[in-house]
Amino acid sequence: MTSTTTTHVTRDGVSLVVRTWEADNPQGVVLLVHGISEHTSRYNHVAAAITAAGLSMVGFDLRGHGESGGPRIDVEDFGSFVGDVGEMMALVRTRQIPVVMYGHSLGGLISLSYVVEGNNLPDALILSAPALGAKLPPGLETVGRLIAKVAPKFRLPTSVKGSQLSSDPAVGEAYFADPLVVTKSTARMGVAVLDAMKAVRLRINDLDIPTYVFHGGDDTLIPTEVSEILESRPNVRRVVYPGMAHETHNEVDKERVIADLVAAAKQFVADAS
């Protein structure tokens, strides 16, 4: 596996850091869309497994995340994220090999928001704990929307605990020690995400490409039942891993999760070839 880092300047002038993990003679490419607060370097171990299977992986730090430009964890319009995915899709499509989009958490929501629009679609979709809903304390959404109106850039903590990411304590320790991880988002971004969740749930019937969904059975950030709605589509296969938290790819038994992910990606590529 070889890894390179480049930059891509978006239509509105934001510089995105793009990481590419190349396989030898790749048969397909996986386009990674990561979750909130994090960045693509947290997926090096996933990329190693994917490239070992003969697929390349391309990921980009979302605007406002990691090493990319833009205000930290702040968008006024959720469509900015979706538009960035469209630009990345255009780039990976130039390879003229099958493309599988892989979105985790917020990245899953962004990926679905892109796919239901129906333009320049990937050949298949892989979703890890997609953020299609969240359990909020009573009144929090109302308060958040009020804050977003009067002080849109006011920052609120994501309040994530290490144990919610993985049952492996080392994962949480590394997460909070990572200088590229930002654990506060603006109020307006929170509202944009909530609105995007509602919009995508209303358009689930527009999900027409082969999709593999996996979710931790003990996920308290994006509850497991949130992804059940995807099973209404005939082209969706969903797997729940009992006892696992939000980042199943970083769990104690992550090798099994990643092996299943790789197998799904390889099958999607084979079917599209």
Residues with active-site annotation? 105, 219, 246
- Give how far Cα 176 sits from Cα of 44, 60, 88, 185, 250, Å: 18, 21, 28, 15, 15
CA dihedral 102→69→116→141, nearest 10 degrees, is 100
Please name which of 158, 260, 153, 150 lies closest in space to residue 214, comparing C-alpha atoms: 260
Please tell me the distance from the alpha carbon of residue 239 to that of residue 216, in angstroms, as a whole number: 9
**Main-chain dihedrals φ then ψ at residue 141, nearest 5 degrees:** -65, -40
Residue 126 DSSP SS3: strand
**Main-chain dihedrals φ then ψ at residue 88, nearest 5 degrees:** -65, -40
